[in-house]
Each structure stands twice: as C-alpha cells, then as structure tokens.
Amino acid sequence: MGIEHGKVSISLKGNIIVVRNVGAFNEYGAQKYTNGVEAIVDDLQDASFSILVNNLEFQGATPEAYQELENYNIWLNQQKLIAKAMVITSNTTLDVINKLSPSRASQQTRSFDNEEDAMHWLQTLS
C-alpha cells in the first residue's frame, strides 16, 4: 500500500455518518475515506443512514482518487442511503466531483455552505 494523501475523519451521530476531508487526496487517502464509511455502514447492520460530507478544507484529488470515489458511490447506491449533504463553498470543486462521479446523480443530495444547515436538512429526512 502506498502513502496516503489527504486527511479524513469519520464519526457517527445517530444514523448520520459525518465525514470531514482535509487536503488533497490520492487514491490511498480516498480508500481510507471509503473504507471508513463502508465499515460504519456494515456496523449499522442494514439500517437506513444519511451522510454529511464536510469538504470546506478539501483541496482536490488525483484521477485515481476520483475513480475510487465513483466506485464507492456505485456501492452506496446499493445500500440504504437516505440522503447525502455536501458542505462545500467551491462550485468548481462540486462540478468536478459531480462530473467524475456520475453515480451521485441517483442519490438524494444537496449542497450547503455550513455544517449546521446540512445536519438540519438530513435530520428532517431521517
């Protein structure tokens, strides 16, 4: 395994998985992110869940990292995902994420500029 780039923290608040991405990611950093979320989903034992992704400090990713993200979103689409909230202020970064991960289009998603509003929205759906 190579050296991971990008830092991720993952926690669970009720049935909402909260992810915070910091820095620029390579495929190994992206795998740490996706493997961490997959482990929590497995621990939820088939219960419905939502995801809040805080990308305020995300600085981008390699093409390999975006491929890992696409594979992860394909997997997510087969789980009991209620919705996904993205906290992000860069429309350009969001456009890149959407273009390189087209499987996100079948998810109920919404973008926010702060975590509080994102969490409130997800809680109204749960």
* pLDDT confidence of residue 2: 72
Q: Are strands 49-61 and 81-87 parallel, antiparallel or unpaired?
A: parallel
How many angstroms separate the Cα of 19 from the Cα of each of 37, 55, 66, 81?
8, 8, 16, 15
Q: What is the pTM of this model?
A: 0.95
* pLDDT confidence of residue 77: 97
Q: Per residue of the chain (126 residues), give pLDDT as tens.
A: 579 999 999 999 999 999 999 999 999 999 999 999 999 999 999 999 999 999 999 999 999 999 999 999 999 999 999 999 999 999 999 999 999 999 999 999 999 999 999 999 999 997
